């Protein structure tokens, strides 16, 4: 297994946000985490990516304990999270946003953008990702001027530019049209194959996307794992559908 979490518990005061969550993600898997508001999804993401240290339990990446080490160190070890640089640096161009991620991967964080433009490794790395995500023709556009669908693509592309083994996507299709959602998913799955990404974890509310692209679905409810199964098994489980998904949204999706 690439990623394994065991017995994760997280308390905020007396409130238990995660109550004994365990999961494992292997090579080649696309895993979706679902659940209603308050199920513990955001807390789980933050614990898995080292932003939060759990009250109990461990997270291991390639058999190495990464519990609470933080997203920067974690990225260097091979796990990245879409970190929405568009929102953080809206006045950077597409190319500069991707360069920032490549700089982090190459350990050249003290360089100024003026000199980075002359750094061939940084330039080539950023352009390659821009092309993979169909953003090359917009590479000189300010991030804040992009359509919403392209902003989401840039968020994801920034994480891909770190060249991780495993990537965690937090609502990669939120706020975009139905047509754009499919385009975004097709692009990121294709890009993942091209760069040799070993696994994808996503948190997603759109059940068409969840059922259409997931190999496995982990359903959370009240801080616990209610189910960890294939899309077909999830759809066949009346208790999970009623508790986490809802009958109207439990529709079969396409395949990737």
Q: d(Cα 42, Cα 61) in Å, to the nearest integer?
A: 19
Look at the block and give the residue holding tokens 């898995």.
48
Q: What is the pLDDT of residues 161-182, one digit of tens each?
A: 888 999 999 888 888 888 889 9
Looking at domain 1-78+166-256, which of 3.30.70.120, 3.40.640.10, 3.30.360.10, 3.40.50.300 is its CATH number? 3.40.50.300
- The domain ranges of the chain are 1-78+166-256, 84-163
Q: What is the pLDDT of residues 135-161, one digit of tens each?
A: 999 999 999 999 988 988 998 898 888
pLDDT band at 81 (very low <50, low <70, confident <90, very high): confident
Long-range pairs for 53-57: beta carbons < 8 A, 24 or more residues apart: 54/8, 54/9, 54/10, 54/18, 55/9, 55/10, 55/11, 56/7, 56/8, 56/9, 57/5, 57/6, 57/7, 57/8, 57/9, 57/18, 57/20, 57/21, 57/22
Q: What is the mean pLDDT of residues 52-59?
A: 96
Q: With 50 as the cut, is the pLDDT of residue 234 above it?
A: yes
Diameter of the chain by CA atoms? 58
pLDDT for the residue 255: 46
Q: With 80 as the cut, is the pLDDT of residue 119 above it?
A: no
Q: What is the pLDDT of residues 96-107, one digit of tens each?
A: 989 888 887 766
Percent of the chain with pLDDT over 70: 89
Mean residue pLDDT of the chain comes to: 87
Q: Can you name the residues that pair with 48 across neighbouring β-strands?
A: none
Q: d(Cα 213, Cα 129) in Å, to the nearest integer?
A: 22
Q: With 50 as the cut, is the pLDDT of residue 254 above it?
A: no
For the whole model, what pTM was predicted?
A: 0.86
What are the φ/ψ torsions at residue 125 (nearest 5 degrees)?
-65, -40
């Amino acid at each position: 297994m690439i990623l394994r979490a065991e017995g994760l518990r997280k308390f905020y005061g007396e409130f238990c946000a995660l109550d004994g969550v365990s999961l494992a993600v292997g090579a080649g898997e696309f895993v979706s985490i679902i659940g209603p508001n308050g199920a513990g999804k955001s807390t789980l993401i933050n614990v898995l990516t080292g932003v939060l240290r759990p009250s109990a339990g461990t997270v291991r990446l390639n058999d190495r304990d990464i519990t609470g080490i933080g997203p920067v160190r974690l990225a260097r070890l091979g796990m990245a999270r879409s970190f929405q640089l568009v929102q953080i640096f809206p006045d950077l161009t597409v190319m500069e946003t991707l360069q920032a991620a490549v700089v982090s991967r190459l350990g050249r964080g003290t360089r100024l953008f003026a000199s980075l433009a002359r750094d061939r490794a940084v330039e080539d790395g950023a352009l390659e990702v821009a092309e993979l995500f169909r953003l090359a023709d917009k590479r000189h556009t300010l991030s804040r001027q992009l359509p919403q669908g392209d902003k989401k693509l840039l968020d994801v592309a920034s994480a891909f530019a770190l060249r991780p083994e495993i990537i965690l996507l937090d609502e990669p299709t939120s706020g975009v049209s139905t047509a754009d959602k499919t385009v975004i998913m097709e692009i990121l799955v294709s890009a993942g194959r091209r760069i040799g990404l070993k696994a994808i974890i996503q948190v997603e509310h759109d059940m068409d996307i969840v059922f259409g692209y997931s190999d496995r679905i982990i359903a959370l409810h009240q801080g616990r794992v209610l189910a960890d199964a294939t899309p077909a098994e999830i759809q066949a489980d009346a208790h999970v559908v009623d508790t986490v998904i809802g009958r109207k949204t439990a529709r079969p999706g396409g395949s990737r």
